[in-house]
Amino acid sequence: MSGELEGKKVAFLATNGYEDAELSSPWEALEAVGATLTMVSPESGSIKGKNGHQQSVDASPSQVQASDFDALVLPGGVVNADHLRTDDASVAFAKGFFEEHKPVAAICHAPWTLIEAGVVDGRRMTSYHSLKTDLRNAGADWVDEEVVVDHGLVTSRTPADLAAFNAKTVEEIGEGKDQDQTV
């Protein structure tokens, strides 16, 4: 439905090495329903996916805050997620969405940033299978499912899950804040 998310502002947080489809597919899905999208990255200019997709950067995590947006999308990719979880401004930006009870969608390796933000304890989640132990050690209830929604937190495993991930991301953004989406 075109215009379903008209007026909703969504931040994407990524850096070089993201999984191309995990950025481009949700971006296109959200754009198609009228959301206003902003690419946030610790890099300036543009970032490049592991397979060559280029994405222009609109702002750094230190220039924006969760209150500027209605939701956050975290694409995966090992290199991307590993760099973001060591960037204090990126971690603080992601954590802000939980403090404000706003929807967050994370796929593949992206939950590493959420572990670092300290927001996964007690949450039911999925991810790329290699993060299972990391998430469980951080207190999450990890499950091997295509897509999991836990009070505004949407998680998926791999690019094969993008159709379900995109649909649930659109749905959760449309529903808005969830008071149980918190740190």
For 20-50, write each residue's pLDDT tens digit.
999 999 999 999 999 999 999 999 999 999 9
Separation in Å, CA 62 to CA 22, 33, 87, 129: 23, 28, 10, 31
Catalytic residue among 53, 108, 129, 151: 108
In a domain? residue 71: yes
Domain assignment present for 3: no
**Does residue 180 fall inside a structural domain?**
no
Give every CB contact of residue 88 below 8 A, 6+ residues apart in sequence. none
Answer whether residue 1 is part of any domain: no
For residue range 85-104, what is the model confidence (pLDDT) as tens digits? 999 999 999 999 999 999 99
Number of structural domains in the chain? 1
Is there a catalytic annotation at residue 101?
Answer: no
Examine residue 73 and state whether it is found in any structural domain, yes or no.
Answer: yes
CA-CA distance, 31 to 33, in Å (whole number)? 5
Per the annotation, the verdict on 108 as an active-site residue is: yes
Q: Is residue 67 part of a domain?
A: yes
Its domain, for residue 35, covers: 9-175
Q: Which of 53, 101, 109, 151 is catalytic?
A: 109
Q: Which two tokens stand for residue 16?
A: 């070089």
pTM above 0.95, yes or no: yes
The CATH number of whichever domain residue 39 belongs to comes to 3.40.50.880
In a domain, 62, yes or no: yes
Do residues 131 and 78 make contact, with C-beta atoms less than 8 angstroms apart?
no
Provide the residue-wise pLDDT of the chain in tens; the chain has 183 residues. 567 999 999 999 999 999 999 999 999 999 999 999 999 999 999 999 999 999 999 999 999 999 999 999 999 999 999 999 999 999 999 999 999 999 999 999 999 999 999 999 999 999 999 999 999 999 999 999 999 999 999 999 999 999 999 999 999 999 998 887 777
